[in-house]
Amino acid sequence: MIQLNTHNARLKRTVRAASHTARTATTKQELLAAVDAMAAFYGNMQFDNRVPWLMALLCGPLAIASIAGYLQAYEPLLAPLAKLLGQSVPQLASNLTLGLLGGAAFSLIVLYQRRKLIPKLAYDLAERSSLITAGLQEIPVTDSQLLKGLQIEFRDYVRGNHKRFLRRAVQGHYQGRLHSFNYRWYHLHYVDKQTHQETESDGKGGTTSKTVTSYQEYDRYSLVIDFPWVQGIALGGGSGGRSSMVDMEHHFKTASSDFDRAFSLTGSSAMACARFAKPVTVLHLIDLHRQLDTPNLEFSQHGQLCLSCNDNPLAFKLTCELSRASDFRLLIDHGVHLPQLSALLDAVHTLAEQHDDNFTVPTPAQLQTEH
């Protein structure tokens, strides 16, 4: 295959190679190599956009002029061309209009895509860096059994009356001061379908009614954590203390009005709820509720915790652009951190400390070998 050797073609090849690294890298060194390749790109890290701009500036006004009918005024010029192509003049004029419009649209699309390419690459590299820094590994989500298994264990995944699927999943390990645990992060995308009747005037004094269907798309993020210290408890945080979708059979009210307004606490038994609602836990969860959007916590009967919310704990803010290559390299070298994920895992560790048995705490030796 012949490869073009223009500035744009070389830049595109370099970006494509770096994007591949951003998807597959497993070490920081691979990412740094990709950043170095971008930084070493001779010429600047910008596409040469003279041709698309020229096309857009020529085709755009001409297309507008032809739509306005100015092209027809040049019939003597168009007639020979129409004859040559075997078309009538109006036919040629409308084809030219379409061609000019297409040319202008194509140029604008090329400009838009080129504008997004480098920032997207920077984001992808930083995102891969965040996964590597946090020691996270991707889990394939193509198997529908994975979501079904989660739905059996946790009610929070039973969402979306029209469609639901896992967009992405990663797994990692947390080493706290006292406890260590494995965790998985899931991104659930779901669609709710709603139908309602709309009545409108038929223009003859009567009304007609029609069924309108709308689709609402949502994203939900969750951490599933091995948590053997609590079982059979559910806390619904998005209902203002009223019943929520994760509720279990026994409802429980604590001594704190603030907590009861924040969460609906339910469990497999009233005793389990009473044991769980220690004052330190109540205050800790009120604090957690302030930090997260609509959090739910489900402690399954099999010793797993599902902490879900509408905020993505893997979100990060890109503080530097790839065009500032040396700063970007430094960012990747230090590693992109996920403060929200760390805060959530620390909060879960605090919960573990509150609910573990102080007389069977793991020794430092056990902590080392738990990996």
Partner 1 sequence: MDLFALILLAVLIGVPLIVISLHNGIVGNHNRVKRAWADVLTYERQKTKVLDALQEQAGLYRDHEQGVLAGITRLRSAIAELPVEADGKTLAKAEDATRSLLGGLRVAFEAYPDLKASELMNNLMREIAEQQQNVGAAIVIFNGEVERFNNGIQMFPGSLVNSVMNKHAAVTPFTDIQAASAFDYTPNL
Residues at the interface with partner 1 (CB under 8 A): 254-259, 278-280, 282-283, 354, 358-359, 361
Of 15 and 277, which has the nearer Cβ to partner 1? 277
φ, ψ of residue 175 to 5 degrees: the values are -115, 105
Q: Shortest approach of partner 1 to residue 209 CB, angstroms? A: 36
Q: Shortest approach of partner 1 to residue 363 CB, angstroms? A: 9
Categorise residue 205: left if φ over 0, alpha if ψ from -120 to 50, beta otherwise.
left
Sign for the CA dihedral angle at 310, 315, 317, 321 comes to negative
Of 259 and 299, which has the nearer Cβ to partner 1? 259
Following DSSP, what letter does each residue of 107-165 receive, concatenated?
A: HHHHHHHHHHHHHHHHHHHHHHHHHHHTT-EE-----HHHHHHHHHH-GGG---SSEEE
Of 203 and 364, which has the nearer Cβ to partner 1? 364
Of 73 and 361, which has the nearer Cβ to partner 1? 361
Q: Shortest approach of partner 1 to residue 302 CB, angstroms? A: 26
Strand partners, 186: 169, 222
Following DSSP, what letter does each residue of 42-98 receive, concatenated?
A: SS-SS---HHHHHHHHHHHHHHHHHHTTGGGGGHHHHHHHHHHHT--HHHHHHHHHH
User: Residue with structure tokens 């705490």?
Assistant: 361
Of 9 and 283, which has the nearer Cβ to partner 1? 283
Q: Shortest approach of partner 1 to residue 223 CB, angstroms? A: 24
For residue 334, give the DSSP letter. Answer: H
187: Cα separation from own chain's centroid = 7
Of 10 and 250, which has the nearer Cβ to partner 1? 250
Q: Shortest approach of partner 1 to residue 264 CB, angstroms? A: 17
Are 155 and 234 contacting, i.e. CB atoms less than 8 angstroms apart? yes
Convert 65-82 to b/e letters by CB count within 10 Å (16 or more is b): ebeeeebeeeeeebeeeb
Q: Rounded to the nearest 10 degrees, what angle do helices 89-133 and 325-334 cross at?
A: 40
Of 73 and 283, which has the nearer Cβ to partner 1? 283
Q: Shortest approach of partner 1 to residue 289 CB, angstroms? A: 15
Of 102 and 279, which has the nearer Cβ to partner 1? 279
Q: Shortest approach of partner 1 to residue 38 CB, angstroms? A: 51
Q: Which two tokens stand for residue 39?
A: 């930084």
Q: Shortest approach of partner 1 to residue 267 CB, angstroms? A: 18
Could you tell me which residues come within 8 angstroms of residue 134 by beta carbon, excluding any fewer than 6 positions away? 172, 337, 338, 341
Of 116 and 177, which has the nearer Cβ to partner 1? 177
Q: Shortest approach of partner 1 to residue 227 CB, angstroms? A: 18
| Sheet strands (E) in 162-243 | 163-175, 180-201, 207-226, 233-236
